[in-house]
Amino acid sequence: MEKASNILTINRQDFECLEQIGKGGSSRVYKARAVNGKRDYAIKVVTFDQFDEGAIASFKGEIEILKKLRDQERVVKLIDHSLKDGSLMLVMECGDIDLAHVLANRSNLPFDPSFTRYHAVEMIKCVKAVHDAGIVHSDLKPANFLFVKGTLKLIDFGISNSLSDHTVNIYRECQIGTPNYMAPETLIEVNNTLKGDGLNGTWKVGKPADIWSCGCIIYQMVYGKPPYANYTGNKRILAITNPKVEIQYPRVTTDGTRVNGLVIDTIQRCLKRNPSLRSNADQLLETDFLKPKVVTHKFINDLVRNAVKYGSTHPNISEHKLDILVEDVWKKVNEYS
């Protein structure tokens, strides 16, 4: 966009473009302000000149997705849009900082379980919102999670679509997500499509693929990079799709920080190679790392004392009775949580 022409008119509303805040192969995103207004917006401008009808249809699909998700708190809101003259313009609420920048800003800091827990919970709540609405995002990465006035929200639904049923979603071959965060089944289907009849192929991928991406992002929060970041180019794709290349989960990071075993368990629930074995968003939010059990010193004190007293008066306690007592303790722990 020329500096001398920094005004965009969308449905008779003029916007002054203040700065470019993002770009992709097909689009540019500008921070803009309505002329004679005080509110800032993010305006995504997509040009169609170099795209086929399938790509144009996918951009139109993004409008429909955003309309469908308009009432979702965890999705950046679509304010207005215009589709004409070979271009698509989307006016959306403007965010403050994306998760990619947040992670980059602390890339040299040691693993912090509180930081990881908070951001993982916020991220999975975003994914749960779109999954509950019957949408698979398909390109989850840190840059597509945006803080808007303190709330983490999802952006960029350019290669998303509504689920045709509860398990699968279909994408065109020309639309590919980010390999660092892509699930094995997605990359396998892409590879098979590319070997087939070129740009006319499609592949299927469902909600578990988004869960895999979440696991990769949480892994990055813990270890500073996604699980297959040490591989480059095609070797990365081959590693992700090869069951023999196992993900490593060091209990100590390179800077000597010990990693909480509960966060490893949460990541592993996301990074199962079999999509049907991965936890869903609801299940992840209930894991012991993301929803830790909280007890006090007094609780432990009372528990130990009562256990010792009970054991001294019931030396022949049965396994069944022990199970009942354990469940009773867990009920009390949950009350503290």
44 annotated as belonging to a binding site for a ligand: yes
User: Residue 87, exposed/middle/buried by CB under 10 A (0-12, 13-18, 19+)?
Assistant: middle
No. of helices (H) and no. of strands (E), the chain: 10, 13
Q: How far apart are CA 89 and CA 77, in angstroms?
A: 14
- What is the number of other CB atoms lying within 10 angstroms of the CB of residue 78? 20
* Helices (H), ranges, 166-223: 184-195, 207-223
Q: How far apart are CA 68 and CA 133, in angstroms?
A: 8
What Cα–Cα distance (Å) separates residue 296 from each residue in 287, 293, 302, 306, 320?
20, 10, 10, 15, 27
Q: What is the set of active-site residues?
A: 139
Please report which helix (H) or strand (E) contains residue 172, including its range: strand 169-172
Q: Binding-site residues for ATP, please?
A: 44
